[in-house]
């Protein structure tokens, strides 16, 4: 019950071809690939802008873990 066998995949492919037709499948694949590419590019841009923002404006009021350990060990 865990995975799909080859027969399941063949039935799924036949149903997809019957629904969309063979002429639309390459267009759908190209659109999907472009969407994934744009999503990855957006994620990389977001992570770069977040890193630049942290360098420009570091968070304040947070003590480093080393200073917390010294305070805990003091008598």
The rounded distance, in Å, linking the Cα atoms of 41 and 34 is 11
- Mean pLDDT computed over every residue of the chain: 77
Q: What pLDDT, in 10s, does the model give residues 10-33?
A: 999 899 888 888 888 888 888 989
Q: Residue 54's pLDDT is what?
A: 67
CB 17 within 8 A of CB 25: yes
CA 46: distance to chain centroid?
12
Helix (H, G, I), strand (E, B) or coil at 75: coil
CA atoms within 13 A on the CB side of 71: 6
């Amino acid at each position: 019950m865990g995975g799909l066998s080859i027969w399941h995949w063949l039935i799924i492919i036949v149903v997809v071809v019957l629904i969309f037709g063979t002429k639309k499948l390459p267009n759908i694949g190209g659109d999907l690939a472009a969407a994934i590419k744009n999503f990855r590019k957006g994620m990389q841009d977001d992570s770069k802008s977040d890193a630049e923002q942290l360098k420009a404006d570091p968070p304040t009021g947070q003590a480093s873990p080393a200073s917390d350990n010294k305070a805990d060990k003091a008598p």
